[in-house]
Structure 1
């Protein structure tokens, strides 16, 4: 009874028990977990700009609408090449002593998952334009615009990064729209979000609840390979810039509809652009090396360019995977 009636002993004992349980149940397991996990061999650490961009990502509330976790279900296959693993987040550190915002996995997928956005969309120009006015590149987008990450200038200065804004989406009154340091840092962070490859791809867990694709065309009876669906590959790799109708965005991304490069009987230049990117026209943004960055196979590139060469009124001969492979070898 003396112990129960002595409030000092009672509260000190309760506090000691609480501290002991906290150390044994929370702190020690957390330290062991941290010491027993490491990043995948191919994982790259964030650069200084990307780390600063992560802070911009947080301060602008991007984590409220975007996840960074590819779940082990078939519907998430579009967001990454494999389900996320614990090792994907092992390299994340505390922001500082007081703030633990290292892993931004998120809980709400109002916008697309960003786990692998650095591979899915490597174009700096696209990201900047998307931040300035999302509906200029994705008409159905519900993402808010972030104009405060940009400034207008009557004349460009050395080091300025101008964004090419399509007609009807700019209120700059003829001035140049320039990305601020924070916008460039945010884009650096987004481009750094990439799934590291496993040292043995055979160890990657398969997505659960996968539905078998339709393998035949009812009208022709011909077999179809889902992986070689040119329209689907175009949608994944090219549509965000060149648009579903192939008309691109005036003043930002060139059209493929009626393009002499796309329709040329010799597809070498087209394949070179897909593999190595293109930056030769001042009125358009820089195209990244989609083929090289995405490790696209000759069969996939063949399917994409054949879709481009036979859609939107385009009518050019088909290009075989063998021809694509030969041209890629000659470009090295």
Structure 2
């Protein structure tokens, strides 16, 4: 009983027990993880701008609404090409000696997962407009705006990065420019890309795949060459509307209009299919378009539905394309060497 009556022995034993448990439960497993996990061979280290942007990502509370983890379930296929691995997080290091890094994997998806946002949306213009006011590009967005990351100037300097937004969202006679903080944050977002696995085995298949149910109304044998069971308007809203807008008019100086576009209404759909599948970045006046078709693994039927929606909306009047046409073009694209 002397042990329990002696506070020095009692609290000393409790302290030693705490130190021992901390070592075995936290410290030693962390050291083992660090020794047995390393970034994938193709992983690209963060640039100085991206490191600053990562700190801004944390300080502005982005971790509260966005995850950075692709779970091994079928519903997460939209966020990445493969399930996440321990190696994907091996490059995370302490913020400094006193502070550990934030848990960037996140715990809640109020907004979309950002594991591959650098591949899904590589456009600087889109990201800057979205940060300034998400409602400009996505009317239903509940994401807060970050106007303090931007400045309004009467006369922008040559080195300023001008952000093109509709007149209703900026002060009259002023030009909106991005601050260095905004550019750093976008640099971090654009760095978020899944690294390809080495070798040819490929990633493990996602678990719990949804069973596709074939309804009689969508039986492909009952559809004509130009008909499709896919909803082109819905697919457009999911994959294209954030940039090109519901009206098809795009955003001046940022995203090109599809209304009246010669690319959209061209009788030969080869170019528009190629743009959807491989993206496009050859226009100085507009931002880069990601490879929407490849990133989202769109089927020829879905691509045909999107194109036919665009060719018959906003006053456009062009012949419909068939699924067979799109299949042939997609096959040729897949056989082309990667540039």
Aligned to 2:9: 9
Distance 2:204 2:275 in 1: 31
Aligned to 2:62: 62
Q: Structure 2 vs 1, CA of residues 317 and 293 (structure 1 numbering), >3 Å: closer, same or farther?
A: closer
Please list the CA deviations of residues 245-283 of structure 1 after superposition, one character each: whole Å capped at 9, or x if unmatched.
Answer: 43323554222122122112345654665546245464x
Distance 2:140 2:63 in 1: 20
Aligned to 2:145: 145
Q: Which moved more, 1:268-277 or 1:5-14?
A: 268-277
Distance 1:217 1:188 in 2: 48
Q: Which moved more, 1:46-55 or 1:83-92?
A: 83-92
2:185 paired with 1:182: no
The CA RMSD over aligned residues, in Å, is 3.2
The answer to whether the 8 Å contact 1:122/1:288 transfers is yes
Q: Structure 2 vs 1, CA of residues 301 and 5 (structure 1 numbering), >3 Å: closer, same or farther?
A: closer
Q: Paired residues, what number?
A: 325
Q: How does 1:262-301 map to 2 (within 5 A)?
A: 262-267=264-269, 270=272, 274=276, 275=278, 277-280=280-283, 282=285, 285-290=286-291, 294=295, 299=300
Unmatched tracts of structure 1, length 5 or more: none
Aligned to 2:250: 248
Aligned to 2:105: 105
Aligned to 1:322: 328
Distance 2:205 2:273 in 1: 33
Distance 1:321 1:220 in 2: 18
Distance 1:181 1:38 in 2: 31
The answer to whether the 8 Å contact 2:124/2:186 transfers is yes
Q: Which moved more, 1:241-250 or 1:125-134?
A: 241-250
Distance 1:83 1:159 in 2: 40
Distance 1:321 1:219 in 2: 18
Please list the CA deviations of residues 163-182 of structure 1 after superposition, one character each: whole Å capped at 9, or x if unmatched.
Answer: 11023222x22211000000
Distance 1:261 1:18 in 2: 68
Q: Which moved more, 1:300-309 or 1:120-129?
A: 300-309
Please list the CA deviations of residues 221-246 of structure 1 after superposition, one character each: whole Å capped at 9, or x if unmatched.
Answer: 5389xxx9684765554332013443
Quote how far apart the aligned CAs of 1:162 are: 0.6
Aligned to 1:308: 310
Quote how far apart the aligned CAs of 1:14 are: 2.2
Distance 1:205 1:292 in 2: 20
Quote how far apart the aligned CAs of 1:295 are: 9.5
Aligned to 1:211: 210
The answer to whether the 8 Å contact 2:58/2:102 transfers is no
Aligned to 2:79: 79
Aligned to 1:196: 195
The answer to whether the 8 Å contact 1:167/1:250 transfers is no
Q: Structure 2 vs 1, CA of residues 263 and 221 (structure 1 numbering), >3 Å: closer, same or farther?
A: closer
Q: Which moved more, 1:27-36 or 1:128-137?
A: 27-36
Q: How does 1:109-148 map to 2 (within 5 A)?
A: 109-148=109-148
TM-score of the two chains, using structure 2 as the length reference: 0.82
The answer to whether the 8 Å contact 2:125/2:163 transfers is yes
The answer to whether the 8 Å contact 1:40/1:88 transfers is yes
Distance 1:230 1:330 in 2: 32
SS of the residue 2:151 aligns to: strand
Aligned to 2:226: none
Distance 1:247 1:120 in 2: 21
The answer to whether the 8 Å contact 2:120/2:290 transfers is no
Distance 2:44 2:38 in 1: 12
Q: Structure 2 vs 1, CA of residues 297 and 63 (structure 1 numbering), >3 Å: closer, same or farther?
A: closer
Quote how far apart the aligned CAs of 1:159 are: 1.9
The answer to whether the 8 Å contact 2:77/2:206 transfers is no
